Amino acid sequence: MALLQIAEPGQTTAPHQHRLAVGIDLGTTHSLVATVRSGRPTILADENGVLLLPSVVHYQVTGNEDNLTPQTIVGHKALDVAISDPTNTLISVKRFMGRSKNDIKFDHPYELVGQADEMPAFMTAQGRKTPVEVSADILKTLRIRAEKALGGELIGAVITVPAYFDEAQRQATREAAQHAGINVLRLLNEPTAAAIAYGLDHINPSQTPNQTDDERIQVIYDFGGGTFDVSVLRLSKGVYEVLATGGHTALGGDDIDRLIVGWFIEQIGQTNPSPAEQQALLQAAKQVKESLSTQENVTVTINGKSLTLTVTIFEELIKPLIDRTLAVCKRVLRDAKRKVEDVDAVVLVGGSTRIPVIQRNVEALFQRTPLCTLNPDQVVALGAAISADQLVGNGKDGALLLDVTPLSLGLETMGGLVERLIPRNSPIPIVRQQEFTTYRDGQTAMLIHVLQGERETVEHNRSLGRFELRGIPPMMAGAARIMVSFQIDADGLLSVSARETTTGIQSEIAIKPSYGLSHIDAERFLTDSFKNAQEDKDLRNLLETKVEVERELMALEQAIIQDQDLLTEEERTSLHVSIAQLKDALNTNQLANIQNCTDQLKIHSDAFAALRMNRSISKALKGTSLTDWR
């Protein structure tokens, strides 16, 4: 009798086959690809043994007019021509991913085309190139590197994204991977990836099972080339739970470089440098920044003038940026309902954390020496590789990852109010449902308007998308039952559906905005929600009152049309005068005035309601005898 082999769902049926999967850190400045070999995560090198791939792409066209050949160069060779051909050499393209043209406020040498409220494209020698296409070229290079190193085709990859990337930016990353021929197993938040690398790497086998199961609170301080994230994670019994997260999608080492460039320009008295000069200044700034991590001062020659930048001046220049990151750390701790003394470890991630003054400030805030035993440039890719290995069934002990959504999600209700379905810092994946109803009699369609943010009204939040549910059976206002579902998958991508429960008709939308949330807006949403909490509460109370009053006025006016014969001329006049006064009060937006006019109207409307009730009862009893009710 032959034995049957039983395999876990999603795992290989060949017991000794190792499925090829990788983790990719698609960074602003550099990108890496890693895999798990012999149970250990390893960064994969190119043919020259180089691990880091500069996230730089150069587009050129070779040949003559009759035979033009497009040529795309990625990595170090592209970086070499950045100064000589800056407009066709795209650097730090991650800062453009999933963001509108209006959101891009920083200096750059590129010609951007497209609508102001759409993700822009770069004009290059090869024509239009979107940030998604540029990122796809970087990812394709990493895929080819991995397949050469591993000797086979990849099953898939886990690609990391900043925790504060919104739906548009995550969707843009996934589309870039698809263009590069990569099956995305999961989009993983960078801080979570770092926690995986450190969490699995620092378990001491000599510890007892009870000790390893103890809850540990870790803070991941991720200061990379173009983004900053901080996350508070709880690690317990193989579960990595993100308690809270925050950061900026446009704050990183690039901004430090620009501050140094600004200092250069100020010292030499130069204004309006050309794109080539700007690129040369940026490269000089990067070298100076890296040197100051180990030296007290660095001297460079800019336009024939010798400049010496000391550590003291450098630290003063970047102090505002550091202070912004520390403010985010404090806010995220509050969101996680944790204090500094609750933190067991602080992990440093990203190349910018090599700067000594940043390490000192982080240590001072959290009152403990931060962990940096793993290379901060590599730790995210290593964690992603471990996650990928587990997802394809190679790893034996998979960790459960519970990320969170950074901003609240909800939809518009009557009066311009926002009904919040998923609060910020809710663990994902998540599904939330809520029942809504119609506002008017006979309403057969409903507009579902999806919003993101922390304020109480539509105008103060960001619109993510709209769709219509049609075919609702005509009923009395409030009789229809519309079930709206919000679902965020493990990648942080949102889909929304609406279903009328009696007929089963349904409509849905996958949220794919053409632009991302700018770091300024993300920060504004949070700070404004704190500053205007009482004002928002009062405004919500006012708007809810107005919606209810308008609904009652609509019903009353309809009733007057139907049963006006029950009223004397004087009673009709009194009702109409009170109705007009209440409508005027609604325009004043003064709650006390509205409530006062409502009370005055109630005196007349209650008497009318009693007359209508008597008529209804009389009609119901007409033609029956007393014995019918015994």
Active-site amino acid positions: 25, 94, 190, 222
The continuous run of DSSP H or E covering 620 comes out as helix 591-621
Are 466 and 448 a contacting pair, CB within 8 Å?
A: yes
The continuous run of DSSP H or E covering 27 comes out as none
State how far the Cα of 175 lies from the Cα of 195, in Å rounded to an integer.
26
Q: Provide the 3-class DSSP secondary structure of residue 539.
A: helix
The continuous run of DSSP H or E covering 88 comes out as none
Name the residue among 383, 346, 353 with its Cα closest to residue 219: 346
Contacts 24+ apart (CB under 8 A), 119-125: 119/168, 119/172, 119/514, 119/515, 119/516, 120/96, 122/90, 123/87, 124/59, 124/87, 124/88, 124/90, 125/59, 125/60, 125/61, 125/88
State how far the Cα of 370 lies from the Cα of 521, in Å rounded to an integer.
30
Dihedral sign for Cα atoms in the order 567, 571, 573, 579: negative
Cis peptide, bond prior to residue 429, ω within 30 of zero? yes
Name the residue among 152, 116, 156 with its Cα closest to residue 23: 156
Q: Phi, psi at residue 310, to the nearest 5°?
A: -90, 165
State how far the Cα of 371 lies from the Cα of 377, in Å rounded to an integer.
13
Sheet of strand 112-113: strand arrangement:
112-113, 121-124, 127-129
State how far the Cα of 97 lies from the Cα of 466, in Å rounded to an integer.
22
State how far the Cα of 185 lies from the Cα of 482, in Å rounded to an integer.
34
Q: What is the DSSP string of 363-430?
A: HHHHTSPPB--S-TTTHHHHHHHHHHHHHTT--SSPPEEEEE-SS-EEEEETTTEEEEEE-TT-EESE
Name the residue among 389, 593, 429, 491 with its Cα closest to residue 171: 491
- Give first-to-last CA distance, the chain, whole Å: 79
Contacting residues for 198 by C-beta, under 8 A, at least 6 apart: 218, 345, 347, 371, 374, 379, 383
Q: Provide the 3-class DSSP secondary structure of residue 119.
A: coil
State how far the Cα of 76 lies from the Cα of 135, in Å rounded to an integer.
15
State how far the Cα of 581 lies from the Cα of 554, in Å rounded to an integer.
15
Name the residue among 523, 522, 513 with its Cα closest to residue 97: 513
| Token pair listed for 616 | 């209804």
